[in-house]
Amino acid sequence: MVTEAQIRQAKMHDILTLVPTELKRVSGHNGGEYAGPCPWCHGNHGLRGCPESGWFRGRQCNVKGDAIDLICQLN
């Protein structure tokens, strides 16, 4: 079973290091927003992510969440 401490630790992980595609900085708002190819729908700049707040979102396919969601969706 996964403990609360393990979940907190995973959520603190830099989400950009978990994304299997290269993301480039597209905005400096709220610590920066990054964009790149979406691993699900392969849309160019279809995936957005923000390491400061720990979220990601597929713009065309609407896959979204935090670091834990990302790991689950990729596996």
Mean pLDDT, the chain, whole residue set? 85
Rounded distance, CA 19 to CA 36, Å? 10
Burial of 6 (0-12, 13-18, 19+ CB in 10 A): exposed
In the predicted model, is pLDDT for residue 36 greater than 90? yes
**Bigger pLDDT: 30 or 14?**
14
| C-alpha to C-alpha distance for 61 and 1, rounded to whole angstroms | 30
Query: Token pair of 5, please?
Result: 């401490």
Phi-psi region for residue 62, left (φ > 0), alpha (ψ -120 to 50) or beta? Answer: left
pTM, to two decimals: 0.75
